[in-house]
Amino acid sequence: MQNKLTLVVVLLGYLVLPMSMSGTTVALPQIGASLDASGGALQWVVTGYFLTASSFMLVAGSTGDLFGRRRIYRAGAAVYALGSLAAALTPGILVLDVARTLTGVGAAGVMAGGGAILASTFTGTERTRAFAAMGTTAGLGMAIGPTLAGWLVGELGWRATFGTFAAAGMLLLAGTFAMAESRADRRPRVDWGGAVTFIAGLASVMLAITQSSRAGWTSPLVLGLLAAGGALLALFAAVQRRSAHPVLDLTLLRNRRFVGWLTSGVVMVLGFGGMMSYLPTFLQGANGMSARDAGLIMLMSTAPTLFMPLLGGRLVNRGVSPHALITAGLLLIAAGNAWLTVLHPGIGAGGLLGPLLTVGVGIGLATGLIDAQAMNQVAQSRTGMAAGLLNTIRGGSQTLVLALFGSVLISLLTGRVGDQAGKVATGELAAAQHDFLAAQLSDAWQVLLWAIAAVTALGALAVAALLAPAREPARHAVPQAS
- Report the alpha-carbon distance of residue 184 to residue 380 in Å, rounded: 8
- pLDDT for 473: 55
Task: Please compute, for residue 473, the number of CA atoms within 13 A of its CA located in the half-sphere on the CB side.
Answer: 3
Task: Express each pLDDT in 276-287 by its tens digit.
Answer: 878 888 888 888
Percentage of the chain modeled with pLDDT above 90: 33
Q: Which of 150, 55, 42 is nearest to 96 (CA)?
A: 42
Q: Region 98-105: what's the mean pLDDT?
A: 93
428 dihedral zone (left: phi>0; alpha: psi -120 to 50; beta): beta
Q: Does residue 226 contact residue 106 with C-beta atoms inside 8 Å?
A: no
Task: Express each pLDDT in 166-220 by its tens digit.
Answer: 999 999 999 999 888 877 666 556 777 888 898 898 889 888 887 876 777 888 9
Q: Region 468-479: what's the mean pLDDT?
A: 60
- Report the alpha-carbon distance of residue 105 to residue 122 in Å, rounded: 26
The alpha-helical segments, DSSP class H, found in 157-219 are: 158-175, 192-215
- pLDDT above 60 for 39: yes
Task: Express each pLDDT in 119-155 by its tens digit.
Answer: 888 888 888 888 888 878 877 776 676 667 777 877 8
Task: Classify residue 347 by its DSSP letter.
Answer: -
Task: Classify residue 427 by its DSSP letter.
Answer: T
Confidence of residue 96 (pLDDT cuts 50, 70, 90): very high
What homologous superfamily does CATH list for 249-467? MFS general substrate transporter like domains (1.20.1250.20)
pTM of the model: 0.83
Q: Does residue 101 contact residue 50 with C-beta atoms inside 8 Å?
A: no
Q: Does residue 87 contact residue 162 with C-beta atoms inside 8 Å?
A: yes
Percentage of the chain modeled with pLDDT above 70: 94
- Report the alpha-carbon distance of residue 68 to residue 182 in Å, rounded: 5
Reported residue count of the chain is 482
Q: Region 426-448: what's the mean pLDDT?
A: 89
Q: Region 57-70: what's the mean pLDDT?
A: 85
- Report the alpha-carbon distance of residue 55 to residue 42 in Å, rounded: 21
DSSP for 12-35, written as a single string = HHHHHHHHHHHHHHHHHHHHHHHH
- Report the alpha-carbon distance of residue 478 to residue 253 in Å, rounded: 38
Q: Does residue 325 contact residue 341 with C-beta atoms inside 8 Å?
A: no
What is the CA angle 197-45-290, rounded to 5? Answer: 130
Task: Express each pLDDT in 218-239 by its tens digit.
Answer: 889 889 999 999 999 999 999 8
Domain boundaries 1-185, corresponding CATH code: 1.20.1250.20
What is the amino acid identity at position 50? F
- pLDDT above 60 for 482: no
- pLDDT for 186: 65
**pLDDT: which is higher, 398 or 40:** 398
Task: Express each pLDDT in 158-176 by its tens digit.
Answer: 899 899 999 999 999 999 9
- Report the alpha-carbon distance of residue 102 to residue 87 in Å, rounded: 10
- pLDDT for 472: 55
- Give the mean pLDDT of the chain: 86
Q: Does residue 248 contact residue 198 with C-beta atoms inside 8 Å?
A: yes
- pLDDT for 256: 92
The alpha-helical segments, DSSP class H, found in 418-433 are: 421-425
Biggest distance spanned by C-alpha atoms of the chain: 96
169: burial class by Cβ within 10 Å (0-12, 13-18, 19+)?
buried
- Report the alpha-carbon distance of residue 415 to residue 208 in Å, rounded: 25
- pLDDT above 70 for 376: yes
103-137 per-residue burial string, b: 16 or more CB within 10 A, e: under 16: bbbbbbbbbbbbbbbbbbbbeeeebbbbbbbbbbb
The SS3 of residue 289 is coil
Confidence of residue 467 (pLDDT cuts 50, 70, 90): very high
- In the chain, where are the structural domains located? 1-185, 192-242, 249-467
Confidence of residue 16 (pLDDT cuts 50, 70, 90): confident
- Report the alpha-carbon distance of residue 162 to residue 102 in Å, rounded: 13
